[in-house]
Amino acid sequence: MSIVETAEEKVKEHHAQTVESIDLIIGDLAGVDSHALDFAWEAAVKNTVLQTAKRKIIHVEARARCIECDCEFQIKELFDVCPLCGEPLLQIIQGKELQIKSMILN
């Protein structure tokens, strides 16, 4: 719903009518299930400025850096361990994103 609210604010701010297309950035660790998003999207955008918008999803792989040895690597889960030294203490570099990258307004 916050995506819909943001889109409606931008349409008003720029004196547009609708959103032609919207690009969303979603990280692997954002907790967004693509099937659930598809289902919720249809209900959320009905009768809004996003109703006819083309939606593009840009997936961002999850990456972390080991706090112990500074190794950077792809992760699948928040609690993955470093493949180099086995330490569980990681700094998440990317993969938690859930944001609007861009919108084309009409």
pLDDT, position 1? 84
DSSP bridge partners of 100: 24
Q: What global pTM score does this model have?
A: 0.86
Q: Which of 18, 56, 60 is nearest to 37 (CA)?
A: 56
Assess contact for 28 and 61: CB atoms under 8 A: yes
Note the pLDDT tens digit of each residue in 93-102. 999 999 999 9
Note the pLDDT tens digit of each residue in 32-83. 998 999 999 999 999 999 999 999 999 999 999 999 999 999 999 988 999 9
Domains of the chain, residue spans = 2-105
Q: In what order do the strands lie in the sheet with 63-66?
A: 72-74, 63-66, 90-94
CATH top-level class for 2-105?
Answer: alpha beta
How much is the average pLDDT of 8-37? 95
Q: Alpha helix (H) ranges present in the chain?
A: 2-13, 34-45
